[in-house]
Structure 1
Amino acid sequence: MENIKSENKNGTSLVNIISSAIQIPGIKVNRDFFLREQFNDVSPELLQLIIEKGPVEAKCSRIELRKMARKLVHKKTLFSTGASFAAGLPGGFAMAATIPADMIQFYGVALGLAQEISYLYGEGDLWSGDIPNTEEVTNQLILYCGVMLGASGAAQTVRVLSSSLAKQALKKLPQKALTKTFYYPIVKSIAKAFGAKMTKEAFAKGISKAVPLIGGVVSGGITFATLPPMGMRLVDALDEANFVYSHDDFEADWSDIAEVYENEEEYASQPLDSEIVTEVSKTASSSVLEKIQEAKKMLDAGIISDVEFSEIKAKLIAQM
């Protein structure tokens, strides 16, 4: 991220805008508090599991999580369309003079929503630790913004990083395999896609590309037509990654990521690390075998029939 910062230190780059937006009081979302608020009607035992493992690993249903995500998007949209956002800023809060207030407002609302959606789908706390890693936080938020704004490679990268398939594989690889081979180049590409300097014209152009028929941002707030489709882009990416992501999906996403990677001049001469692909393939095969073994146990216990076992087995083998 240092390269991006140094390239744009005198301009209103996407990095600078996000860095300014997260300074707005209330934009940083407390993960534990948020999850407790969202799941205030479950048992204490389940709530503790949700906080420790995340809603997905705690076996919250896909339908329920999507319903909750839609409510979050709707709530944030209502909040952003009136004067409530600006009215909520403390009098002493000073924004960078070079960054328009409506641009800061947009990113403030979008980043708050992105954090809530990510926590709902099991992502870790961005702000954990006494001194959060600012670079890692900024990278992740740029990635989420990229998904919401429709940047090339953003949704694919989020799906790869958020899927259980890839998470298991990446644990077996050195950290540099993640940050240096494809994550950082994609983040850099997203930042560049919205211009070295995020002028109001570039900002409006970016929004109109993300949301067809919207020519820009209404002064003083984001319209009802703008934020919902953007929020749902991130919901769709995380929903797919956590509930219906297959090895074929991974290969398709990896192909798209490779294309974006190769378009970055700095990395064009460096082949994308195939070690990740190899490890994911191993993990996928292992996962399929484990699921077949689980189905066999259910067959032996009389929970499912021979026909049902054969159907499950055929579907799982087809994923390999």
Structure 2
Amino acid sequence: MTKTQEVDNSESNFTRALDSAAKLPGVRIDRATYLRAALKRHCTEEQIERAVAESPAAAGIPLRVIHDVANTSIAYETSKVTGVSTLAGIPGGLAMVGTVPADLAQYMGHMLRIAQKLAYIYSWPDLFAQGDEDIDEATESMLILFIGVMFGVRIAQGGVARVAGMIAANVAKKLPQKALTKGVIYPTVKKVASYLGVSMTKNLFASGVAKAIPIVGAVLSGSLTLGTFLPMAKRLQKHLASLELTKPGLRNDEPEIVNGEVSSL
């Protein structure tokens, strides 16, 4: 097998695991439901509805509230992955993954949940099309970049920043499909997927989950420790929080950041 074929296979293995995890019950987060529940204790009803219709940034929600909500979501998801997985207890849930090892799909599912929650509270648009069971190419690409950031892949950070810039510039309510699937971001997506494929799945598919990397092996015991999942979630949070997309004042009729609102925090 040539090196190119090996890289392609690793990339394919990773994307297959991601797609399988995205189909597991409980993995996909409904953006509107999450934002309403997460902001209920912090915001007025008017702010919440605007956050749902546009974004938390457009609703002018202070960054300290955004960070508090993000930290709460991270703590919640961390508590779930450090205990017995809820996904494993859903009848028929892990049977959906087919040829992808159940432990890897379960582990990926936890990562996808926190990635979605952090994206939504930091003003990203809906990642999944309503009623569509299959994950579309743009969403798959975006999730690959998010996971890349969680693993500390530097080029993934650049890819996420570029997509965020496109969304902020156009004040868009959806991902830039072309850029993520055929355009300027796609080469970065492929590199990140290849890297993650080599790191996470090369040894896994050859010799089992336990021999892949420590955090995947930890799933076999039904838990992810605070020393693994938490830093990864925090890494994504820090990066998303640094982007202009999350700054209060970015709204559909005022695409530029309102300095007064930011400085008043």
Match of 1:140 in 2: 142
Higher RCO by CA contacts (8 Å cutoff, separation 6 or greater): 2
SS at match of 2:153: coil
**Identity of matched residues, %:** 31
Report if aligned partners of 1:170, 1:178 keep a CA contact under 8 Å in 2. Answer: no
Contact 1:114 1:144 in 2 (8 A): yes
Superposed, which structure 2 residues align to 1:100-249 within 5 Å? Answer: 100-131=101-132, 134-163=136-165, 167-168=168-169, 176=178, 179-195=181-197, 197-200=201-204, 217-219=218-220, 220-242=222-244
**AA aligned opposite 1:39:** L
TM-score, L = length of structure 2? 0.75
SS, match of residue 182 in structure 2? helix
Q: CA–CA distance in 2 between the matches of 1:206 and 1:242?
A: 36
- Structure 2 regions of 5+ residues with no counterpart? 248-254
Which residue of structure 2 aligns with residue 62 of structure 1? 63
Deviation at 1:64, TM superposition (A): 1.7
TM-score by length of 1: 0.64
- Number of aligned positions between the proteins: 239
**Cα deviation, residue 235, structure 1:** 0.7
Secondary structure of 2:242's aligned partner: helix
* CA-CA distance at 1:192 after TM superposition: 0.6
1:81–1:223 Cα contact (<8 Å) kept: yes
Q: Deviations over 1:172-213 (max 9, x none)?
A: xx97566534311111001111236544279778856xxxxx
The CA RMSD measured in Å over matched residues stands at: 3.6
User: Deviation digits for residues 129-169 of structure 1, max 9, x if unmatched?
Assistant: 45476212211111111111112311121122224x77317
Which residue number corresponds to residue 250 of structure 2?
none
Unaligned runs of 5+ in 1: 209-213, 246-285, 295-311, 313-320
- TM-superposition CA deviations, 1:11-46 (whole Å, max 9, x none): 971100001101110101100100111112332211
- CA distance in structure 1 between the partners assigned to 2:167 and 2:240 by the alignment: 13
CA–CA distance in structure 1, aligned partners of residues 167 and 97 of structure 2: 39
Quick one: structure 1 residues 206 and 167, their matched pair in 2 at CA, closer, same or farther if it must change by over 3 Å?
A: farther
- Determine the structure 2 residue equivalent to 1:262: none
Give the deviation of 1:74 after TM superposition.
Answer: 1.2
